[in-house]
A and B are shown apart, each in its own frame.
Chain A
Amino acid sequence: MRFIKKTHYNQDIQLFKHQGQLFWYGALGVALLLSPLVLSDFYLGELSLVFIYAIAGIGLMLLTGYTGLVSLGHAAFLAIGAYTHAYLLAQGWPFPVSILCATLLSSLVGAIIGIPALRMTGIYLAVATLAFAIIVEQVLSHWVSVTGGFRGMAVELPSIGSFSLDDSVTFYFLCLFILTGCLFLALNLLRTSTGRAMTAIRDSEISAQSMGIHLAYTKTLAFGISAGFTGLAGSLLAHKIGYLAPDSFTLLISIQLLLMVVVGGLGSLHGVIYGALFIGLLPQGLALLRDTLPPALAQIPGLEPGIFGLILVLVLIYEPQGIYGRWLKIRSYFEEFPLYRKATHKRQRSYLRTERLK
């Protein structure tokens, strides 16, 4: 076990709490910077996709994992980011300006969607966001002059001035850079007042209000910020897939995003990364699985969404804290070895509210 001597409150505020963390994150950073030397273009592409998922996941995690508002419509923000970016690029806007505008527009739409959603929680909110995503999908298919309708639209190659960002190594670094920036922003948010206000709302609205937190404002803000991150991911995704069509942003994508934050571990940014790896690599795994299955089974339509759904349900039942929660348990097992006791992570049934009522 590690005991840290604290001599200043700053130590509880730092992003890296101790030398060990700094070392391991540094090592991870170096590995990611060097990986283009060893990985093939295909795997770099897959990693870029994982980064993009992670950026979108940060957005959804802030909303669902930290503010406690479930969204089943986040594919819509991905779509808004992607289409806006592609459209502005086609109009000749420079790449950085276009990606910024796409992010801001998505964020604005998110905030507007947040307003009617203020009075809803849980399943009602999930259904409302789902409805919103369906509306966006309809708009994408029918607003032909901008989106190209069902035919879709091609996305211009990314470049800043004459410097092309298109080859897989540069694009990989672009995604890595933006992901790092997003993580930095999200971590900062979570260690300051606004982030704490969001978690307060998740845990108890009534007491958040009594602490002076404006529910409507904070929830709208959470929606806006969340949609911004996801929209930003969308504009990167546009380049990754190269050609936008309404069916790139279906309900299945929304579910995948939700799956990502739940499987990764709600209420942790580590969880976003684990979740993104999981979602990014799962299709590869499923493809391998398909090859080994007898054809009769492998050809079942809807196999993929079925397996996604199954995993979601299993995680919710057996490991509600997701991959990250599981990892924490494994780690504390080794740290405390041989003193680990089986019930360490069992929640004590501390008390039931009704038992203490009178």
Chain B
Amino acid sequence: MGRQLKFKIFRFNPQNPESVPRMEVFSLDETDSMTLFIALNRIREEQDGSLQFEFCCRAGICGSCAMVINGRPGLACHTKTKDLPDEITLTPLPVFELVGDLSVDTGSWFREMYNKVESWVHTDKVFDPNAIEDPMDNAIAEEIYELDRCVECGSCVAACGTARLRDDFMGATALNRLGRFVIDPRDKRTDEQYFEVIGSDEGIFGCMGLLACEDVCPKNLPLMNQLSYLRRKMGVVALKQIFKK
């Protein structure tokens, strides 16, 4: 207790013709168990009501509040000031379109992502309200859930060298999403169909293996494992296609 914290925050409101991108400094006295959620709301309510940022669940569940915190992408609600130095620099996630200050448009980016990977179960089974469910091995259900835990926060994309160089790269989150359907027995897509989606430099072959994605993922998803699994699987499909020609 008793620390005076200095927040250096990126400010820019693209809707205001007079606004220019800049860093602004705010000071706050630190309180017990303070998180960036508490700190930013206090700044907005006590010092500058126009400060834009995104929070929703404030419990590390919904993925809304990712930003770059002292150089590293992460969930702001999940970050305690006590783990940070006296001076805290906050900037919006790169790659995503800026809405204003610390707020970016992750919704549009992720919608495009799941349209690209067709993030749904592909099947021609018609639901029968009178039938009992198809059984599934609990271990498989748990495996699917492990990959389903992504909260679409965008940290992995913001930290990714390839994504920052080329904006058509799908990113670890998209590949992880596809992987979730690859292991789901309800999805009837074949390896060849999956290859259509990710078998290119935009997808699995664009990854440079820098590991930053897994490092920043707040859900600790096994992103590197997932990438190399898909790369091996897709490599086999690629070979098959070369020999077919």
Q: Do A and B come from one complex?
A: no
Chain A interface (Cβ < 8 Å from any Cβ of B): none
